Structure 1
Amino acid sequence: MFVRGQEYDPWIVDRSIPVDLSKWHRLRGDKSDELWRPRFEQYLRNRSTFKSEEDWFVARVVKEAIRWLERQVKEEGRKDKLFLWVDCFDPHEPWDPPEPFWSMYRDPGYDGPDLIDPVPGPVEGYLTEEELTRVRSLYAGEVSFVDKWVGVLIEAIKDLGLYDNSLIVWTTDHGEPFGEHGIVRKARPWNYEELVRIPLVIRHPEHGHGRIVDALVQPVDLTATILDVLDIPTPLPLIFRAPRSTGTFPQDMPVARREIEIHGFSLMPLIKGEEEAVRRYAYTGHYGQQWSIQDREWRFILPIDGSKPPELYHRPDDPYDQRNVIDEHRDVADKLELELRRWAAALR
């Protein structure tokens, strides 16, 4: 479930709608302006019809999700075998939540601009420390705004009698840099903590209520977990059926079959408290640019594009990757690089 108009989606294309970039935006005054100016203008058109909180995109997508659930339960009479993916998109930038969220975390003494969508790139020379703090506060307000509407969805699930027997998963795709390594937004393929660590909350009907699991997991584990909860065996069969162009009759006759291996691990042993870990390492990367591997103690970063040397961070006393200790621990770095390259080579 998603709605049109979020971020730079060409949803409202009427160019006669006036837009003023000076209010909430700041370009960098370089060649990047050609890329970002039309994107910022597009978003301002997309939000030009906003009048109340329910016009914002996260509210609209939640209301659509609730309408779908109500149709399934009240019109179709279905209360099980439902699968709903709700793509809120927010708290993705732009960070422009309505009040009270707009002012919720603002420093009362701040009198600078409210920049809802900074151009990705270096902070230095672009944002002052006070401006960066205000950007963070807008992001925090957006997060709280999304939290409210996720709560609206959960209450609707309860009202429809679906909550007690539902698996509910809440997660996202990436974090957000706010100057921790000198950049704002995901402007570089740098797999540091602020970008690669994401929230994951799983509500199982029977197991693990209130538990915080201190284990390495990854988004790829979600598919394996959902299949496990639903008792769907793996590997999954992929059936190829005859296309009409072959003249095969009947036209839906299976002509080939493959077995699809699931790369992730089910998290049910963690949720049930049966295991303390399902994987030793977690891996992240940007295609053709940078890979990283981490365990409970170390994070090793390998820029495969040669843009800078490898890096190593000791997570227990440096959780935000501020002190590169690769020169002091070359043996650890070599071991993790070998593990990382073996893992990447084994992918198929």
Structure 2
Amino acid sequence: MAFSISRRGLLTGTAAGVGLGFVGSAMAAEPQQKINISRTAARSDKPNVILIVTDTTRRDHIGAYGNSWMRTPSLDHLASQSLRFTRAVPEAMPTVPARRSIHSGMRTFPFRDWEKRSGNKSGVWGWQHIPDDQPTLAEQLSGAGYTTMLVSDVPHTFKPSMNFARGFKVMQWIRGQEGDDYMPIWMADDRFLDRYMYQTAGGKDLTSKGDNLMLANELRQYLANNVDRDGEEDYLAARVFRTASRMVENVPPEEPFFLAIDSFDPHEPWDAPRHYADYYDDPDWNEPEPVSPRYGKSDYLTERQLKRMRALYAGEITMVDRWIGYFLERAEQTGLLDNTLVIMTSDHGMALGEHGALGKPSFALWPEMTDTPFFIRHPDGKRAGEAMDYFASTHDIAPTILAFAGVTPKTELDGTNLMPTLDGEMPEDPREHFTSGMNDYVWASDRKFTLIAKNDGTEARLYDIVADPEQMNDIAADNPDEVKRLYDLVVKDAGGAPLPHYDQG
């Protein structure tokens, strides 16, 4: 089953039925090296696996999930060839807890036995390594004869203390994201920093103290890391997917492969080439760009600044989508997709002011944070273009891939194998509800209600997601029995004991 967006379709957006003339500009400038088909024609009989993870990707910002104004032709086309899950929620958030479950197949929530391991200064509950004695997905596939490859620009992935890279034979760290001290910070040109927003409408200096100063320093580090960036092909997302393309074009033909692609974009800062944001906003915008949010309440921004921030985020997604399309087209040209399972998902979304929240604060577990894309593309085209409302999650990825590859897990996994869904069957775990959490907040949902609360059950908010899918009307006060029922499910899924609490002083 080919990923058959034509060259013309990619350049014009016609593969998704939209006009998107600017999207292919970087592809046109990218040198198109000839693919060595002789290396890819005679492949192992074992199937291959490609896992694509993009950070901070809201499900409602993808056309295939019903968005009529976003331009995501590559993901939309991938969805047309995949089974699309409409209730996918990470079993734990944010970045590191989600990746821990992706690479291990084990639940991270409810964050029991959390500790700040040496070298990890994060205060987020569950921001922790994969246990040393817990086999990873890559280790198990490597032991079964797979060439295991990782391409990522997520700095946390390569910290030895996290154990996420265990089992990968080939690794490419595309450096330069966020606070990665890749280059000396003094290399940043503060004239470029002036393009970014540091003041509120009232003129308050956002770099004066605390989180604001940290934000300024992170942006300076980011600018220093990317000081030599020229065209779009030099952007980090482009470098990730271009490197992944070279991987699949040159992988040894005698071995099946597992390729994990983990793109930090569309994580902030949202600084895609200007034309991407201009597609979603006034091209005449000439104010400093709000490329990175302060996590918490959104009221420090004016409505106009918030609108611009939303456009920057949308533009970043469209840029990432374009380079996903570049990668998938190159992979299709090798013929590899005829024998390759492709899974695409994200670790969480991003609040952009919908509930008065901005960024990824723990309390903001509304759909803009919890609802993520989840596609499974089977090489035989099973259930292509169909949708399913099963609660698929991050810890299901490892058991699903192992089942597809015919590899028996070394230990019992918490996640469930989703391969039966491609044959029209239900997985072993029916999941009439699902629970998740972030830091000291918990989330629970069935197909009628959603609960958000502190992990001790206080500050509960309840929503009727049938009548109120955007979760704007809190009905907890009038429905205490439903609040208790859903919170009891949280405790049950957490093992029955009270949820842990960590006092960080």
C-alpha distance in 2, partners of 1:318/1:107? 31
Aligned mate of 1:43, from 198, 214, 222: 222
Residue 193 in structure 1 maps to residue 367 in structure 2: yes
Alignment map for 1:100-115 (pairs within 5 Å): 100-108=275-283, 110-115=285-290
Q: Where does residue 71 of structure 2 map in the other structure?
A: none
Distance change >3 Å, CA 210–CA 131, structure 1 → 2: same
C-alpha distance in 2, partners of 1:162/1:121? 44
Alignment map for 1:207-218 (pairs within 5 Å): 207-218=382-393
Scaled by the length of structure 1, the TM-score of the pair is: 0.85
- 3-state SS of the aligned residue for 2:190? coil
Aligned mate of 1:278, from 430, 436, 439: 430
Q: Where does residue 320 of structure 2 map in the other structure?
A: 146
C-alpha contact 1:122 1:182 (8 A) present in aligned 2? yes
Give the C-alpha shift of residue 262 in structure 1: 0.9
C-alpha distance in 2, partners of 1:77/1:215? 36
Residue 8 in structure 1 maps to residue 184 in structure 2: no
Please, which runs of 5 or more residues in structure 2 have no aligned partner? 1-150, 153-173, 199-205, 498-505
- 3-state SS of the aligned residue for 1:24? coil
Query: Could you tell me which amino acid in structure 1 is paired with residue 392 of structure 2?
Result: V
C-alpha distance in 1, partners of 2:470/2:286? 30
C-alpha distance in 1, partners of 2:330/2:241? 10
C-alpha distance in 1, partners of 2:304/2:188? 32
Give the C-alpha shift of residue 29 in structure 1: 4.0
Q: Where does residue 94 of structure 1 map in the other structure?
A: 269
C-alpha contact 2:463 2:476 (8 A) present in aligned 1? yes
Give the C-alpha shift of residue 335 in structure 1: 1.2
- 3-state SS of the aligned residue for 2:245? helix
Identical positions, percent: 32
Please, which runs of 5 or more residues in structure 1 have no aligned partner? 238-259
Task: Decide which structure has the larger Cα Rg and report it.
Answer: 1
Aligned structure 1 segments of 4 or more residues deviating by more than 6 angstroms: none
C-alpha distance in 1, partners of 2:456/2:425? 41
Aligned mate of 1:296, from 422, 447, 450: 447
Give the C-alpha shift of residue 320 in structure 1: 2.2
Q: Where does residue 344 of structure 1 map in the other structure?
A: 494
Q: Where does residue 84 of structure 1 map in the other structure?
A: 259
C-alpha contact 2:341 2:378 (8 A) present in aligned 1? yes
Alignment map for 1:1-348 (pairs within 5 Å): 1-2=151-152, 3-13=174-184, 15-20=186-191, 21-26=193-198, 27=206, 29-72=208-251, 76-78=252-254, 81-108=256-283, 110-124=285-299, 126-206=300-380, 207-233=382-408, 236-237=409-410, 260-275=411-426, 278-287=430-439, 289-304=440-455, 309-345=459-495
C-alpha distance in 1, partners of 2:328/2:207? 41
Query: Could you tell me which amino acid in structure 2 is paired with residue 49 of structure 1?
Result: D
Query: Could you tell me which amino acid in structure 1 is paired with residue 465 of structure 2?
Result: R
C-alpha distance in 1, partners of 2:349/2:284? 28
Question: Could you give the per-residue CA deviations for residues 246-289 of structure 1, whole angstroms, max 9, x where no partner exists?
Answer: xxxxxxxxxxxxxx2111112222222223983112221123x1
The CA RMSD measured in Å over matched residues stands at: 2.0
Larger RCO, structures 1/2 (Cα 8 Å, 6+ apart): 2
C-alpha contact 2:362 2:441 (8 A) present in aligned 1? no
Q: Where does residue 105 of structure 2 map in the other structure?
A: none
C-alpha distance in 1, partners of 2:213/2:268? 19
Question: Could you give the per-residue CA deviations for residues 29-71 of structure 1, whole angstroms, max 9, x where no partner exists?
Answer: 4432332221111011122211101000011011111122222
Query: Could you tell me which amino acid in structure 1 is paired with residue 362 of structure 2?
Result: R
Give the C-alpha shift of residue 99 in structure 1: 4.3
Distance change >3 Å, CA 128–CA 304, structure 1 → 2: same
C-alpha distance in 2, partners of 1:189/1:230? 39
Distance change >3 Å, CA 310–CA 14, structure 1 → 2: closer
Scaled by the length of structure 2, the TM-score of the pair is: 0.59
C-alpha distance in 1, partners of 2:269/2:433? 33
Larger deviation: 33-42 or 151-160? Answer: 33-42
Query: Could you tell me which amino acid in structure 1 is paired with residue 450 of structure 2?
Result: R
Question: Could you give the per-residue CA deviations for residues 147-169 of structure 1, whole angstroms, max 9, x where no partner exists?
Answer: 11000110111111101110001
Query: Could you tell me which amino acid in structure 2 is paired with residue 323 of structure 1?
Result: N
C-alpha distance in 1, partners of 2:492/2:388? 28
Query: Could you tell me which amino acid in structure 2 is paired with residue 329 of structure 1?
Result: N
Give the C-alpha shift of residue 119 in structure 1: 2.2
Give the C-alpha shift of residue 304 in structure 1: 2.2
